[in-house]
Amino acid sequence: MTVPIEAVVHDLCRYLEDHSTEPLRLSDLAVRAGYSAAHLQKAFTALVGSSPKEYQKALRLRRLKEGLRQGESPLPAVFGAGFGSPSRVYEDLPRTLGMTPGQYRKGAAELVIRWAATTTPLGLMVMGATALGLCFLQFGDSEDELQTRLREEFPQARLEPMSAESKPLFTRWEAALRDFFEGKASLEALPLDLRGTAFQIAVWRFLQSVPTGRTTTYAEVARAVGHPRAVRAVASACARNCIALAVPCHRVIRGDGSLAGYRWGIERKGRLLDREKALLG
């Protein structure tokens, strides 16, 4: 009797987690699973949101992060995580870590993030930005709470309050937020510094295309990014979004039309959607 592909993929995820540092070929995984390599690749990608190779790379990246956080030197940490070519790793990691391994080991000590607080109709927000654009835009009850969250996202990065030099930029962003809440403009023009996995960024980019006043479902997003069965992975990507409004994860609802969870509160999500629909009308 053939084992259901869902169970096979679940077992394979556990196997990859236990052997993430080993060189594993798709053909070997297919033999273990009892399916053809092509079928396994397609099913795994649909259910998990990434191929077995990408999944293993993400596991290695997690292991590398843990090693760097624990004080390992970059090169031993790279090899210990299972990466075989340091030069290739150093080319790729700035896109996934958002910094070099050396910077990550120092807790992003060389990354400068400037922040400022602003008030909105739905509560206090703090904006944080790197030289590339907004990397943090979140609701909270106090500046202290939001600074703590910013610190957790970028431990030991150099956090600087808005300076006189950067004030015109933040003033424009604050004006963009006001226009957004008044229904005068979208936030599409805001420069963003998105930091996540390839799948997460694909989800966030798609969400930026959902118009104000419209909604989409987790299943529709999964299909749009090419992984129709990765509904849970889409929900996880929404939960990991740390740039509210500009990456409008509040516009994602369940297939039955009901609201699902929202990082900044289900009540705030409902108010956002009601406000956008009223403005559209």
CATH topology of domain 5-105: Arc Repressor Mutant, subunit A (1.10.10)
In the chain, CATH 3.30.160 sits at: 112-181
> Is CATH 3.30.160 the classification given to domain 112-181?
yes
pTM for this prediction: 0.64
Class of CATH domain 198-280:
mainly alpha
pLDDT tens sequence across 88-128: 565 555 555 555 555 555 555 567 899 999 999 999 999 99
Cα pseudo-dihedral 240, 242, 248, 254, rounded to 10: 30
Q: Is 249 annotated as catalytic? A: yes
- Active-site residue identified among 135, 238, 242, 249: 249
pLDDT tens sequence across 30-78: 998 888 999 888 888 877 777 888 888 878 877 777 777 666 776 777 7
Mean pLDDT of the chain: 84
pLDDT tens sequence across 124-137: 999 999 877 899 99
In the chain, CATH 1.10.10.60 sits at: 5-105
In the chain, CATH 1.10.10.10 sits at: 198-280
pLDDT at 106: 53
pLDDT at 45: 81
